[in-house]
Amino acid sequence: MLPTPLERAPRLSRELGVEVWLKRDDVGSLGLAGNKVRKLEFTLGEALGGGAKTVVTLGAPQSNHARATASAAARLGLQAVLVMGGKPPAGPPTGNLLLDALFDAEILYAGTEEWAQLAATVDALTQERANAYALPAGGSSPVGALGFAAAYAELVSQLESARVQPRHVYHASTSGGTHAGLMLGHALARAGPAPVGFDVGQIVPDAPGLTAWLANEAGALLGADLSLTRHDAHLDLSQLGDGYGAFTHAGIEAIGLLARTEGVVLDPVYSAKGMAGLIADARAGRIDGPVVFWHTGGGPSLFTAGWGERLLSSASRRP
């Protein structure tokens, strides 16, 4: 359901002293939305074009990508096989895991949280299953990155209509596909806000290098001859905390601040850390002029054990 809204956040802007706009990929028509849907439009298009009947992918138990894949597969009549890290959690499924079950995905637990081993399991299952298509973590392949090259063009058009000229667009990043697509879109447009990604998991050894490679390979699919390097990938590690899935106090503060100023919900794993980076830069005077925050979705992970208590505890301490 495109384009997703671009909205000014006036009360948050007053709170931070900078003009903030929200690109709302947290709203849409499929599986509680999120940025992964943009990648799936292209990757599952490729899968269907190749005659796939099954799509196999991986993620942590509360993976937004896995949930989005399961919902898209349900709509397309594909069987989704989700390889999850670790072991099955105790108790009934919550958050994204509950949605995975509702979308009738096959959920397998690898018994390890090592991303390389999860990827190897996906490759093995893809070979075993007939007419299967493999998706990497986050759907971050060159084909998947095309979804965000198109998304960047969408944003530029909306900014022109709104007559606003931000210098940067902030977002959360992990597997690199979203950031790579935005980098590619920015390079092709030769205008518009430069993407700034906040790595929230550090799940790959060289995220800047991978992101640049994805952007260049996606560009090649379009016939563009690019030579982006790891130094062009502006990835900030300041909001990483203890790594993927580990909450940070700054992230929890960001959830509460956006909720009480704009009525918009962030998730603790991804978007909260990206917004925390924007908040930190605004308060430190590092943002000059308007700025866009790309809301990548992920709300279902709020409804898992422990987050409610942490959020309420944080809210009770605010001024």
Rounded to whole angstroms, what are the CA distances from 293 to 9, 13, 170, 221, 223?
10, 12, 5, 28, 29
Using pLDDT thresholds of 50, 70 and 90, give the confidence band for residue 113: confident
Is pLDDT of 243 > 90? Answer: no
Confidence at residue 32, expressed as pLDDT on a 0 to 100 scale: 86
Asked if 161 and 196 touch (Cβ cutoff 8 Å), the reply is: no
- Predicted confidence band of residue 246 (pLDDT cuts 50, 70, 90): confident
Torsions phi, psi of 220, nearest 5?
A: -60, -35
The pLDDT confidence band at residue 171, using thresholds 50, 70 and 90, is very high
pLDDT band for 307, please (50, 70, 90 cuts).
Answer: low
Lowest mean pLDDT among 32-36, 209-213, 293-297: 32-36
Would you say residue 306 has pLDDT above 70?
no
* Per-residue pLDDT at 317 exceeds 60: no
- Which of 60-69, 104-113, 214-223, 307-316 is the least confident region? 307-316
What pLDDT is attached to residue 302?
85
Residue 144: CB atoms within 10 A of its CB come to: 30
- Report, as an integer, the average pLDDT of 152-173: 98
Residue 315, pLDDT above cutoff 60: no
> What mean pLDDT do residues 95-105 have?
95
State pLDDT tens for residues 216-230.
999 999 999 999 999
CA atoms within 13 A on the CB side of 277: 29
> Domains in the chain, start-ordered, CATH in brackets?
6-33+141-317 (3.40.50.1100), 36-138 (3.40.50.1100)
Please give the share of the chain, as a percent, with pLDDT higher than 90.
85
Residue with tokens 């990604």: 197
pTM for the full predicted model? 0.94
pLDDT at position 313 over 80: no
Q: What is the average pLDDT score of the chain?
A: 93
User: Is residue 42's pLDDT more than 90?
Assistant: yes
